[in-house]
Amino acid sequence: MKKLVIATNNAHKLEEIREMLGDGYEILGLADIGCDVDIPETAPTIEGNAEMKARYVQEHYGLDCFSDDTGLEIDALGGEPGVHSARYGGVAHDSERNIDKVLRLMADVPLERRTARFRTAIALLQAGVLHRFEGRVEGRILTERHGTGGFGYDSIFQPAEGDGRTFAQMDAHEKNAISHRGRAVAALVEYLNSQP
Ligand code: IMP
């Protein structure tokens, strides 16, 4: 079986990929290969960060690897928070502060100019060759939170192709079917499953 590392410790991400890939690959997380460092993510783009993490694993552990990085791009904010999505409010992974900042900055922005998208970049390093995959979902930023599911900016993001609910009002299955990450992972899985 071919070994493939995902540059994450998120058990949920690992499980999701294992289910989608079937039996052809042994999927390992960072903990499985004994990597407990915070891999640097200092590139100016999500594509750069995804590549940086995958290269780190390949250089230090000599294993094929893929990595994903996601950003929320809000048009009225010139594409921010983008690559800064995780710590936009000043504290890493504090979603409430991140959302508060977005809502504050957009207080005067009318509904028709509140367009935004989530974009996920995946970098796969296989036998030293870099392959890139992307997934995106268009939508808009609401003026207040709706729903309690999901994580991150889900409660203020209303996907354009849905029925008016935010991601935080959908179950995981519904969200994954149209989400940025779901689509990027589907493109990656299609590629991997087409390999001999
Ligand atoms: P990561 O690259 O997956 O760690 O995502 C970076 C940041 O983007 C996270 O800390 C969240 O704030 C935000 N984010 C990523 N994916 C989602 C999502 O599916 N819903 C809402 N926010 C997300």
E-strand stretches of the chain: 2-6, 25-28, 65-74, 81-82, 115-126, 129-141, 157-159
Instruction: Compute the chain's Rg from CA coordinates.
Output: 17
80-83 contacts at long range (C-beta below 8 A, 24 or more positions apart): 82/46, 83/43, 83/44, 83/45, 83/46, 83/49
pTM of the model: 0.94
69 has catalytic annotation: yes
CATH number at residue 181: 3.90.950.10
Question: How far apart, in whole angstroms, are the C-alpha atoms of residue 40 and residue 192?
Answer: 26
Domain containing residue 39: 2-193
So what's the pLDDT on residue 18?
85
**pLDDT band, residue 65 (cuts 50/70/90):** very high
Compute the residue count for the chain. 196
The finding on whether 182 has its CB within 6 A of some atom of ligand 1 is no
User: What is the model's pLDDT at position 70?
Assistant: 96
Mean pLDDT throughout 19-44?
A: 91
Look at residue 66 and give its three-state secondary structure.
strand
Q: What is the pLDDT of residues 125-161, one digit of tens each?
A: 999 999 999 999 999 999 999 999 989 999 999 999 9
Question: Hey, CA dihedral for 81, 87, 189, 125, is it positive or negative?
Answer: positive
Question: Quick one: what percent of the chain has pLDDT higher than 90?
Answer: 84
Ligand 1 pocket member 169 (CB < 6 A): no
Our count of domains for the chain comes to 1
Mutate which of 96, 145, 153, 180 for ligand 1? The one with the most ligand atoms within 8 Å of its CB, which is 153
**Under 8 Å between Cβ of 102 and 153:** yes
Atom of ligand 1 at shortest range from CA of 86? 10
- Answer yes or no: is the C-beta of 152 below 6 A from any ligand 1 atom: yes
Residue 22 has pLDDT above 80, yes or no: no
